[in-house]
Structure 1
Amino acid sequence: MQGAKPSGDQPDGTPETGALGRYFQLGARGTTVRTEVLAGVTTFLTMAYIVLVNPAILGSAGMPVAAVAAATCFAAAFASILMGLVANTPLALAPGMGLNAYFSYTVVQQMGVPWQVALGCVFISGVAFLLLTATGVRQLIVASIPPYLFAAVAGGIGLFIGFIGLKDAGIVVANPSTFVALGDLKAPGAALAIFGLVVIGALSVWKVRGAMLIGIVATTLAGWLTGQVSVSAQPYSLDALTATAFKLDLGGVLGLSGKQGLGLLEILFVFLFVDLFDNIGTLVAVTKRAGLMDADGRIPKLNRILFTDATATIVGSMAGTSTVTSYVESAAGVQAGGRTGLTAVVTGVLFLATMFVAPYAQLIPLAATAPALIIVGGLMLLPLTEVEWEDPLSAIPAFLTVAMIPLTFSIANGLAFGITAHAALKLVRGTIVKSDWFLLVLALLFVFRFVWMGGA
């Protein structure tokens, strides 16, 4: 790595001492324990909102909110600490935004799958991720999908999350004539959510660390003070922490293959591939900013990173939460100086400490978490700048991907339209090559899926 100091030296040139320094190669990467700790705290503050938002989303699937909050903290702690120790990368993980929405609103609510069975699907997708990484199939999958579709999926999920936030806030409501319409902004819930948007937006503009977490808490307090939110929660107990642990139903997953046919394949496809795409994009962004890529633009210890991610998803499903994935908020810790896995370990330890108060997340109203969903959704649109909108070959599939995800309330539909359109346009243009065979196989599977399942 260019610019790296010789292993065993501190940034000031003095010999590096201590087990932490040697294990995490602090001197070689030009950092110190103090810098890594501060970076870990920064990363935690920027992504701690997931402790409140994830239970709100999965609670819509009928899962116990207090237990999901604890499971969220445990999964984030386990995954981040494992990433730091195994891959020595400043990358923190937690249940992924977008995938939790798909879990709750599409798999459970639309498809009618019990949340215990949905957790089983998450478990199986994690096992599949492990197998794909071990056999090298992962490289084949990534190579068959153009990078601009990764960006389009991220943007479409951003709109999806933002739309859910607007709906939860009552800012956007159903309308029989126009499908959707503006809600009553004077209603208590909508007004409270708008207050939260203003607070989070202002703090973000001022670059306050933990802006979303502060905004959620401030909005909740405002709701309590104005009498819009009732302060009541189930008593804290260890039983609350175990209400989702080991509740996944693997037998029910096998039963889905008979009841829903290709529905099971669709669920597994989305959990697996969105996690894969999200990871690749996040890894590139964070490692590039940290200066950890090698001269050929490759990510060091990539297989270790992906093995960790897959293992975290498996453990997360057993704890009682949706797919665990890498968080782009890790870039905030890198910006603060984090260069090693010690940053991720510190973030994980803070999540572990938070687990013991997490059940009180049930006190947070939807109107307080909705602004965070809206803001996160907006921030996820940044990758759309990577699409060459002047070229129809990329613009048309990208638009279909971005549009179909929120409009059909399905990430799977967006992926299907985008990949199929990309393959079809390449065929029409005459630019298909032998290496595109896997792309064509995916497109044909999607076409078969739409013919078989219709508009499902």
Structure 2
Amino acid sequence: MEEKLDKLFHLKERGTTVRTEVLAGLTTFVTAAYVLAVNPSVMSATGMDSGAVFTATALVCFLGTLVMALLTNYPFVLVPSMGLNAYFAYTVVLGMGYSWEVALAAIFVEGLVFALISLTSLREKIFKAIPLNLKYAISAGIGLFITIIGLKNSGLVVGSSATLVSIFSFSGSAAEGTFNTAGISVVLFCVVLVITGVLMARNVKGNILLGILITWLLGIACELCGLYVPDAAAGYASLLPDFSNGLAVPSLAPTFMKMDFSHLADLGFLVVSFAFLLTSLFDTVGSLIGLGAKANLLDEKGDMPGVGRAMGAESVATMIAGVLGNSATCCSVECAAGIAEGGRTGLMAITTGVLFLLSMFLSPIFLAIPSFVTAPALVIVGSLMASSVLSIDFGDPTESIPAFLCFVGMPFCYSIVEGISMGIISYVGINLLCGNHKKISPMMYVLAVVFILKCVLI
């Protein structure tokens, strides 16, 4: 069996084993499983059936990831985008007044156009046009982006009207009576972050997954002895699996094939579809660059062989999402956790995809893993990806300033796409005014114009 898998996924060629790939896939799943809880919550704000969205989410993750693995043999997992689902629900439906059925049609159209782009040479031109230093910056920026997500999910970093963000106040939590919810989750995060760091320093195999499991088990122990008191309304759910409703899979019928194309010719519909397309395209490009760099899948020029197939898989997954009743997909940045565990092939991705499929039948277990449990893993992975910043040429301001704006733009704007746009626009502007027009490829001019128009029109 191992020989067949090696022949299919080229395990030895990429310096990995079946055990490593399966462990990496499990790690990625546990880290990314929160989408099974978060996505239905966000999408149901539009009036969609949350049970149907849950089932659709699991199916989209499985089918999209399977397509990615079979087409590319890369360790990339596709999941519903946690940014585009918010745009879908709060901007397109609740803000602009479109029905969720029309929004699903826009998702399908965006996926179809993305697929057409993926069939042309434009896909490689976009990928290759981005300068090497910006590619390093994208990888580092995704690391910082993952880190801020982890710090936010842990509760250690909180919003502040005075300073934008601030650190969690234990004394304030005790005074407000929230220490047994928010306070304990922050304590668990800090303790396990140190433990996971020690495991990594001692080269313990599966250190990231162990960190996640340790956080969950400590949380369960705290809940059983009364130190952690669940408060679902405040976002602190029980860590104990709830089997009261059995293991039945929620019906997909309420959202399956419910796309409404009646507004296809409307300008607003086209703008919405374009916004989905632009975000998906560059979210995918950014993730592929960042994750590919950490998995050593880029060549000496910073290009990734088969990137067109990867983008094609993303487009197919998005069309599947529209049909099943879900938001557009993206390449999950949580793949970085599996890559950090040694995942290098499509076997890692398939392992994660199969676990998403099984999650439909074991939803009480996976939905009992709250976001603060995976937070230490995200911060650790962020630190690994941020090391790409060391490869940036800081001796040349025409390279370093755009790269800097790119990697700080992602966490500060809370968007991979916005960080890329800041890097590309500044790169073209600075180098053009410095007379370095030969450094700028025609595609970079096009990308800069597109991002400027996005800022103005969307």
Q: CA–CA distance in 1 between the matches of 2:20 and 2:369? A: 28
Matched AA of 2:78: A
Q: Which residue of 1 aligns with 2:331?
A: 325
1:139 aligns with 2:124: yes
Quote the residue 1:358 is aligned against: 363
Percentage identity across aligned positions? Answer: 27
Segments of 5+ residues of structure 1 without an aligned counterpart are 1-17
State how 1:151-230 maps to structure 2 within 5 Å: 151-185=136-170, 186=173, 187=179, 188-203=181-196, 205-206=198-199, 207-209=204-206, 210-225=209-224, 226=226, 227-229=228-230
Matched with 1:43 is 24
Name the SS of the counterpart of 2:436 in structure 1.
coil
Q: TM-score, normalised by structure 2?
A: 0.74
CA distance in 1, matches of 2:313, 2:348: 16
**In structure 1, what is the Cα distance between the partners aligned to 2:53 and 2:383?**
25
Change (3 A) 1:52 1:156: same
Query: Structure 2 matches for 1:56-205, cutoff 5 A?
Result: 56-59=37-40, 61-63=42-44, 70-87=55-72, 89=73, 91-95=75-79, 99-100=81-82, 102-105=83-86, 108-109=89-90, 112=95, 122-185=107-170, 186=173, 187=179, 188-203=181-196, 205=198
Distance 1:148 1:287, change over 3 A: closer
Q: Within the alignment, does 1:436 sit opposite 2:441 as a pair?
A: yes
Render the CA deviation track for 1:72-125: whole Å, top value 9, x for unaligned: 5433433444444444x25342327xx42x224555446747776665555444
Which residue of the partner structure matches residue 25 of structure 1?
7
* Cα drift, residue 421 of structure 1: 0.6
Alpha-carbon distance between aligned partners in 2 of 1:104 and 1:68, rounded to the nearest angstrom: 11
Indicate the larger mover: 21-30 or 273-282: 21-30
Distance in structure 1 (CA, Å) of the matches to 2:108 and 2:248:
24
TM-score w.r.t. structure 1 length? Answer: 0.74
In structure 2, the partner of 1:52 is 33
Matched length: 421
Alpha-carbon deviations, 1:42-66, whole Å to 9, x = none? 1222202245322344355244776
Residues 275 and 119 (structure 1), Cα distance of their counterparts in 2 relative to 1, 3 Å cut:
farther
Shift of 1:275: 0.6
Report if the CA contact (8 A) 1:126-1:310 is conserved.
yes
2:245 counterpart of 1:235: yes
CA contact (8 A) 2:134 2:423 kept: yes
Structure-2 change in CA distance of 1:267 and 1:415 (3 Å): farther
Looking at structure 1, the residues matched to 301 and 421 of structure 2 have their Cα atoms a distance apart, in angstroms, of 32
Structure 1 157/109 Cα, relative in aligned 2: closer, same or farther at 3 Å? farther
| Cα distance per residue 1:311-332 (max 9 Å; x no partner) | 2343345443551427344535
Tell me how far 1:156 sits from its aligned partner. 3.3
Distance between the aligned counterparts of 1:267 and 1:66, measured in 2?
A: 24
Distance in 2 between residues matched to 1:324 and 1:140, nearest whole Å:
20
Q: 38-47 vs 230-239, which deviates more?
A: 230-239
Contact 2:147 2:383 in 1 (8 A): yes
Corresponding residue SS for 1:174:
strand
Q: Secondary structure at the match of 1:228?
A: coil
Query: Counterpart of 1:421 in structure 2: which amino acid?
Result: S
Q: Deviations over 1:2-52 (max 9, x none)?
A: xxxxxxxxxxxxxxxx8x856863698658xxx854233212222022453
Q: Report the secondary structure of 1:356's partner residue.
A: coil
> d(CA) in 2 for partners of 1:116 and 1:201?
46
Q: Tell me the SS of whatever aligns to 2:406.
A: helix
Q: For 2:32 and 2:339, how far apart are their aligned partners in 1?
A: 19
CA distance in 2, matches of 1:296, 1:161: 26
Query: What is the CA RMSD across the aligned residues, in angstroms?
Result: 4.1
Q: Secondary structure at the match of 1:48?
A: helix
Structure 2, unaligned stretches of length 5 or more? 174-178, 231-236
3-state SS in 2 of match to 1:389: coil
Q: Equivalences for 1:361-376 in 2 at 5 Å?
A: 361-376=366-381
